[in-house]
Structure 1
């Protein structure tokens, strides 16, 4: 990941934070990440509010602070108007100055109950935070964690100023670094899609303001956040003045410049689901920390009988889990593929979620492209016969390391369209080394190497099946008829024409002559051979010692 390579100080601070939790008695990585996220959330919420206040002061706009008024920890206290506390005392910037024992009591009794109420009563955030528990057991651990988080934020500020990197992006890196710990601790790593792959998918699918966007297995909300940041950037008139990030993408975090109406439309158009309660909470807080005030992420198994949304969404972006099978009895009867494999069922679920004319951009394991079982073929038929399958982009197998070594691909299809030609692209590099370190590649001048990312976007946007189609190249078109004839196979290698270089070898007698030398009829040497030259050279060396 970029940050570990570019700022080892931040990486070591994060490792320190982990170690503090570990030695402080919280050894389950998922519990630790959840507790750390609560603290990050408290810090970020305070910062965001102070930023909005100073902006309103500068522009003369009206802004009501989230920390204005009195907070009551229970409904009973509120009714009796007793034990209230000034919300200003709930700010991170205020409570962090308390002595350790007082701070732990204060956070447990007031700050944590306060953050659980930060949206409307019927919102997913309040619903899923209701049974969240703050379980940092020792005052010393809380004190150290608060100090560590402050230090990390200071280093992030420094990094943003020095390297001109966007502060929001650095926060994303830090959060991803924390999340990566869950994956490396053996928890399924399907929720963590590298951020440059998310950005690539958003560029290819091109979600627009006013469209409804979903992720049926959203984990910590990476794709929803990716779509949000992409749309914010499209709405930013100043985006052309920005420098591209290390992967060549322009992303604006100037969401503060958007009107409240536009912010509301953007926030309410994103919908996520996940089957892990912790992931739902992490996803909700992740989106809130990035400026989405009332995020919509819910706890639901979208493959099960309890999920009913059909033809609801304009865009679906997803990297659904491909970790085996689901219980046959739980699968929604609307899903007709005869399989229990999640990677296939999610293709049909996503197809059903889309409105007519809606587009999906999904990451799938490459086995889906060529699996010969009936369900595999039927899943591909769904995208080719009932949709317009626009693109198949294969991703190199190291792209998801160190969390997973599986080879993956991106599929882009529009429901109800007509497939005529499918555009294939073989991504050979994503701009990072393909080993566990995933170090950023540089060109000869020391600039960031984007790999194939920007080339994919340029060629996808300008693709034209009428132009010359070179099957020896990195990308080309294949007609629907040919794909059908090949049993709906979508693997790149099936259609690529290999280039064989003809190597002309010298005749054996010439090779022997070069080795042994040339002799005349009397056996005299006309021309020394390689063997003789080596022997003479060795003898000369011998004489030197």
Structure 2
């Protein structure tokens, strides 16, 4: 039985369980079980090569001792064990010395949940996993990586969970263009399910890793932060599938929840590749971690401010952002001025509609910038649909091969992209024109004449953007009036 058949039959079994409601819960349930199975397979490998290896998991809680026997616990006994022994035990794991595996497992199970109500159905799922997947065979490992990518894709149609998945073609292209070297620290502070990080791992292995020492450098060069439990679990498992032995670098945290200035020089990185959640709003108070000029509740804008802070001098970034960032005013204008003053925003790739369907139809852009030199000009490249396409869909997704024309056109940053030519898809705009436009970066393809969008998602996005800017102005007026009233009250008291 193939791995894809195994996963499908597991999801069919879960559909019969009254406790598992919807795709997101099914995926969450599947992945904590898959994690324990894969971890047990990895432990067999570690034990083979290291006689001194000791598992961070207590013996009764190891997969091999409660799950592997197909005639083992089932029914109420199994459900009671999982709910009252397994989960509490894993949530309280303590590290031994320098081995941080226990911390990785504890962090995962602090927020994992057993949704299944039927111990019999749970036993059926466990047996399918045990029989159908052997992570220590090369064929299964490769197939499981592909299958996991499909599971993450399925999240796109699981309600709002699609925000955590960036299409594979986009992640590959961005990593290819930013080109993280072996010893460069790469970070995604909004890492979702880990797509950019796993793509970076593959890129470094195929281009730069030649020795076991190189592999160790790679293992230490990846960092991610994700605040939501399900994508954090998915990202950690994803890194294990991609050969990261102890993915402790994936922190379960909100990168925006600490003061911006507290990110000091030691935490700066060489490369940031990210797709911050757009359209999201942070909880009250998060914005106070940022300087007054850059305060907003819009998640993507706060992340952009953080990215600039996190990059070293000479550090490079590739970021996915919606059109709303390009044309937005108010705080967005100040943020774009900061970006273009402190960084060289050398390229904006404008993607067509539907790249992120069905999660959102809003048009998106890929921004590439390097910290340390101000922007003198921005090159735009409008990515066209492939011939015969009018949109993308689940059956006709974007493919990496489509980016061949961009890659051929790209050139080299070290000579200021001297080889770049203006074409029907590519044009450049100087910094003085951008300043005259008050940092509105929503510049259409000049070769196509007047373009008016009637796309409902875009119109709604513009409307939402205008409402946010109106609210920001109201808040500023309230602050000014409040300060004036306080000042007047103090003066009256002084005169009295």
Give the TM-score normalised by structure 1: 0.68
TM-fit CA distance, 1:403: 2.0
- Secondary structure in 1 aligned to 2:294? coil
Are the counterparts in 1 of residues 152 and 165 from structure 2 also a CA contact under 8 Å?
Answer: yes
Partner of 1:218: 191
Give the equivalent residue in structure 2 for 1:406.
362
Distance 1:89-1:47 versus aligned 2 partners, 3 A rule: closer
Residue 406 of structure 1 and its aligned partner are, at CA, apart by 1.5
Q: For residues 268 and 462 of structure 1, do their structure 2 counterparts lie closer, same or farther at Cα, with a shift above 3 Å needed?
A: closer
- The structural deviation recorded for 1:342 is 1.9
Match status 1:95 vs 2:75: no
User: Could you tell which deviates more after superposition, 19-28 or 383-392?
Assistant: 19-28
Partner of 2:469: none
1:31 correspondence with 2:29: no
The structure with more radius of gyration: 1
How far did 1:310 drift? 4.0
Query: In the TM superposition, what are the counterparts of 1:102-121 in structure 2 within 5 Å?
Result: 120=100
Name stretches of at least 5 consecutive residues in structure 1 with no aligned partner.
1-6, 57-61, 73-83, 162-166, 238-257, 442-448, 501-545
The 3 A distance-change label for structure 1 pair 385 and 169 is farther
- Check if 1:126 corresponds to 2:78: no
What displacement does 1:326 show? 2.6
Match of 2:332 among 367, 376, 399: 376
| 1:207 aligned partner | 180
Specify which of 10, 21, 25 is matched with residue 14 of structure 2.
21
Counterpart of 2:373 in 1: which secondary structure? coil
Corresponding position of 1:360: 317
Cα distance between partner residues in 2 of 1:321 and 1:450: 22
CA gap 1:236/1:265 in 2 versus in 1, 3 angstroms: closer
Structure 1: distance between partners of 2:177 and 2:448: 28
Q: What corresponds to 2:484 in structure 1?
A: none
Q: How does 1:452-491 map to 2 (within 5 A)?
A: 452-462=402-412, 466-467=418-419, 469-470=421-422, 472-491=423-442
Structure 1's 285 and 467: CA in aligned 2 closer, same or farther, altered over 3 A? Answer: closer
TM-aligned CA deviation for residue 282 of structure 1: 2.7
After superposition, what is the alpha-carbon deviation per residue over 1:185-235, rounded to whole angstroms, capped at 9, x for unaligned?
Answer: 323421110122111111111112232222121112222222222212222
Unpaired segments ≥5 residues, structure 2: 451-496
Q: How many angstroms apart in 2 are the aligned matches of 1:35 and 1:499?
A: 51
Q: Tell me if the contact between 1:425 and 1:474 (Cα under 8 Å) persists in the aligned partners.
A: yes
Match of 1:387 in 2: 343
Distance 1:431 1:313 in 2: 39
Please give the root-mean-square deviation of Cα atoms over the aligned residues, in Å.
3.8
The number of aligned residues is 435
Judged with a 3 Å threshold, the aligned counterparts in structure 2 of structure 1 residues 139 and 125 are, in CA distance, closer, same or farther, namely closer
Per the TM alignment, residue 346 of structure 1 is displaced from its structure 2 partner at its CA by 1.5
2:229 to 277, 295, 317: 277
| Correspondence for 1:304 | 257
1-side partners of 2:157 and 2:229: how far apart?
20
User: Partner of 2:448: helix, strand, or coil?
Assistant: coil
TM-score in terms of structure 2 length:
0.74
Alignment-derived partner of residue 476 in structure 2: none
Question: Deviations along 1:377-420, whole A, 9 cap, x unmatched?
Answer: 22222221211112101112211112221211110111222322
Q: Tell me, yes or no, if the aligned pair for 1:396 and 1:428 is still in contact at 8 Å.
A: yes
CA gap 1:215/1:47 in 2 versus in 1, 3 angstroms: same
Tell me which residue corresponds to 1:286. 238
| Worse overlay, 381-390 or 268-277 | 268-277
Residues 358-377 of structure 1, C-alpha deviations (whole Å, 9 max, x = no match): 11111001221223x12222
Report 1:500-515 matches (<5 A).
none
Q: Residue 453 of structure 2 corresponds to which residue in structure 1?
A: none
Q: Is the contact made by 1:401 and 1:438 (CA closer than 8 Å) also made in structure 2?
A: no
Q: In structure 1, how many angstroms separate the alpha carbons of the residues matched to 2:345 and 2:232?
A: 31
Give the Cα–Cα distance (whole angstroms) in 2 for the partners of residues 357 and 38 of structure 1: 39
Q: Relative to 1, partners in 2 of residues 1:476 and 1:435: Cα closer, same or farther, differing over 3 Å? A: closer
**Residue 207 of structure 1 contacts residue 315 of structure 1 at CA under 8 Å; is this kept in 2?**
yes
Residue by residue, what CA displacement relative to the aligned partner does 1:452-479 show, whole Å, maximum 9, x if unpaired? 3232223224476545733x42223333
CA contact (8 A) 1:310 1:354 kept: no
Task: Say if 2:234 is the partner of 1:234.
Answer: no
Task: Determine the structure 2 residue equivalent to 1:539.
Answer: none
CA contact (8 A) 1:388 1:417 kept: yes
Q: Residue 332 and residue 206 in structure 1: after superposition, are their counterparts in 2 closer, same or farther (change >3 A)?
A: farther
Q: Describe the SS at the equivalent of 1:265.
A: helix
Measured against aligned partners, the alpha-carbon deviations of 1:430-488 in whole angstroms (never above 9, x if no partner) come to 799634324368xxxxxxx7543232223224476545733x42223333233333333
User: Aligned partners of 1:225 and 1:380: how far apart in 2?
Assistant: 29
Aligned to 1:515: none
Q: Aligned residue for 1:244?
A: none
Partner-residue secondary structure (3-state), 1:225: helix
Higher percent of residues as helix: 2
State whether structure 2 residue 121 is matched by structure 1 residue 141: yes
The 3 A distance-change label for structure 1 pair 97 and 52 is: farther
Structure 1 residues 111 and 395, CA gap change in structure 2 (3 angstroms): same
